[in-house]
């Protein structure tokens, strides 16, 4: 027979009623092994307490005070201390976290964190105009942190998994220069007394499809002029370290970034011209970074050019080109054919597009670009720049007239 209280109500397992009328519920803490008792004068109120206890039992949040006090900030710090990611990526994550998460989601206790918290956070970022790719970066920090909390039995379910959705603005499609634009731009630089010293670097970035960090990190020991090869084994990145903001010698973005790129004739000539320019203008490297020296592309102070410096002179070149083109178009009574905004990445992207237009094997393109996944090469970079190229490719589909069937 089921046990009953003094009102004839059935009592559940663990429940009992004392002689003074008080109800009590006894249970075992599965983590500590201790027997715990809770009391209440009302059976309904006692059972409300039981629900909370059972929920905590399910979520493994019983009596460990330090676990209950653990904040999302503390959880992220644990994750950063245990995860095996590149040092540069780790610094980027920490910077993003401190800027956006530390004083918002970061102060919430892990045991209190809900899916609605992260969805609200992503929605706010989206409303501020942040790109989907940026929000994806926050997801990449939060989700594995909470996965670790699940593995450590701090919580039973990850509240972040599946919350990314389509928050944020879609990534802008990367645009390559057309072949005509590329040729006109390089011709303008070649004929400019002000910008001509930048020509070799631009030709190398176009022709070898290098990242800007790989380009500014090149040393003369990386360039084999005899065998006409570029050995990409690292990169220079500029960020805040223990000594403040400065250059750091870093590994390539991925292991696939370590590669040897054969030089085209244009790239070979550009390196030869750059060496002459360095001697003539006194642009010799006088620094050592991470044990490497002899950097190819330097400022007048003998230090490698900063990525922002590359983008700055590209912006100036485009502005000067467009100013000249606008004036010329006015004289000829026509609409000016202006050059779009470009960055160092535009040169790399354009170089890859030229490879695609010349039917270079996709796996070769992937290798030259230093991508770990061929999908990145094909989906992100391999755009067809000119309608004429589309027409040429489609013309290959023209078949000879059908041969009459033999009766």
3-state secondary structure 308-364: HHHHHHHHHHHHHHHHHHHHHHHHCCCCCCCCCCCCHHHHHHHHHHHHHHCCCCHHH
Give the model's pLDDT for residue 62: 44
Give the model's pLDDT for residue 241: 65
The whole-angstrom separation of Cα 255 and Cα 233 is: 9
Residues of the chain with CATH 1.10.443.10: 179-388
Give the model's pLDDT for residue 402: 45
DSSP-assigned beta bridge partners for residue 96 = none
Q: Nearest to residue 150, comparing CAs of 106, 111, 117?
A: 111
Give the model's pLDDT for residue 372: 81
Give the model's pLDDT for residue 338: 96
pLDDT in tens, 105-129: 999 999 999 999 999 999 999 999 8
Does the pTM surpass 0.85? The reply is no
| pLDDT less than 70: residues of the chain | 1-2, 30-32, 57-66, 171-174, 240-243, 379-407
Q: Domain 69-151 classified CATH 1.10.150.130?
A: yes
Tokens representing 36 are 């715990």
The whole-angstrom separation of Cα 146 and Cα 75 is: 8
Quickly list DSSP for 236-265: EEEEEETTEEEEEEE--SSGGG-EEEEPPH
Q: What one-character DSSP code corresponds to residue 381?
A: I
Give me the long-range contacts of 181-190 (CB less than 8 A, separation at least 24). 181/339, 181/340, 182/206, 182/350, 182/354, 184/321, 184/339, 185/317, 185/318, 185/321, 185/339, 185/342, 188/317, 188/320, 188/321, 188/324, 189/317
Are 260 and 230 a contacting pair, CB within 8 Å? yes
Sheet holding 23-28, edge to edge: 15-17, 23-28, 35-40
294 sits in the region (left: phi over 0; alpha: psi -120 to 50; else beta) called left
CATH class of 179-388: mainly alpha
Give the model's pLDDT for residue 92: 85
The whole-angstrom separation of Cα 154 and Cα 139 is: 20
Residues of the chain with CATH 1.10.150.130: 69-151
Tokens representing 260 are 């040897």
Q: How are beta strands 23-28 and 229-232 bridged, if at all?
A: unpaired
Unique residue bearing structure tokens 């502005």: 319
> How many CB atoms are located within 10 Å of the residue 138 CB?
24
Question: How many alpha carbons fall within 13 Å on the CB side of residue 64?
Answer: 17
The whole-angstrom separation of Cα 371 and Cα 211 is: 11
For residue 179, give the H/E element and its range. helix 179-190
Give the model's pLDDT for residue 20: 92
326 sits in the region (left: phi over 0; alpha: psi -120 to 50; else beta) called alpha
User: Number of helices and strands (H, E) in the chain?
Assistant: 15, 8
Are 117 and 159 a contacting pair, CB within 8 Å? yes
Give the model's pLDDT for residue 231: 95
Q: Which residues contact 328 (CB under 8 A, 6 or more apart)?
A: 336
The whole-angstrom separation of Cα 12 and Cα 328 is: 92
Unique residue bearing structure tokens 């070898």: 208
Q: What one-character DSSP code corresponds to residue 377?
A: I
């Amino acid at each position: 027979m089921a046990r009953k209280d003094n009102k004839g109500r059935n009592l559940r397992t663990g429940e009992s009623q004392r002689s003074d009328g008080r109800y009590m519920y006894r249970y075992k803490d599965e983590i500590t092994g201790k027997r715990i008792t809770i009391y209440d004068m009302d059976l309904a109120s006692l059972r409300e307490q039981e629900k909370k206890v059972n929920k905590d039992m399910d979520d493994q949040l019983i009596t460990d005070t330090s676990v209950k006090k653990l904040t999302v900030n503390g959880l992220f710090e644990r994750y950063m201390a245990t995860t095996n990611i590149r040092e540069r990526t780790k610094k980027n994550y920490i910077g993003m976290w401190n800027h956006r998460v530390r004083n918002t989601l970061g102060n919430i206790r892990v045991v209190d964190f809900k899916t609605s918290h992260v969805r609200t956070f992503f929605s706010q970022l989206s409303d501020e105009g942040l790109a989907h790719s940026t929000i994806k970066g926050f997801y990449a920090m939060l989700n594995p942190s909470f996965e670790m909390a699940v593995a450590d039995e701090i919580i039973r379910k990850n509240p972040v998994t599946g919350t990314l959705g389509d928050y944020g603005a879609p990534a802008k499609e990367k645009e390559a220069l057309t072949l005509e634009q590329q040729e006109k731009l390089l011709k303008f630089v070649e004929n400019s007394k002000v910008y001509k010293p930048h020509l070799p670097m631009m030709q190398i970035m176009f022709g070898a499809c290098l990242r800007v960090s790989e380009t500014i990190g090149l040393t003369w020991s990386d360039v084999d002029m005899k065998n006409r090869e570029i050995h990409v084994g690292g990169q220079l990145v500029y960020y805040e370290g223990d000594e403040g903001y400065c250059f750091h010698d870093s590994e390539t973005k991925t292991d696939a970034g370590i590669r040897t790129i054969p030089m085209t004739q244009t790239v070979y000539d550009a390196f030869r011209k750059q060496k002459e320019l360095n001697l003539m203008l006194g642009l010799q490297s006088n620094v050592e970074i991470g044990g490497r020296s002899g950097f190819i592309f330097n400022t007048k102070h003998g230090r490698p050019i900063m990525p922002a410096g590359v983008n700055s002179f590209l912006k100036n070149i485009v502005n000067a080109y467009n100013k000249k083109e606008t004036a010329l178009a006015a004289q000829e009574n026509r609409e000016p054919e202006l050059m779009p905004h470009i960055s160092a990445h535009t040169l790399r992207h354009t170089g890859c597009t030229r490879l695609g237009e010349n039917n270079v094997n996709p796996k070769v393109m992937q290798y030259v670009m230093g991508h770990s996944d061929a999908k990145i090469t094909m989906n992100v970079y391999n755009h067809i720049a000119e309608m004429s190229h589309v027409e040429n490719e489609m013309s290959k589909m023209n078949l000879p007239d059908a041969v009459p069937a033999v009766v």
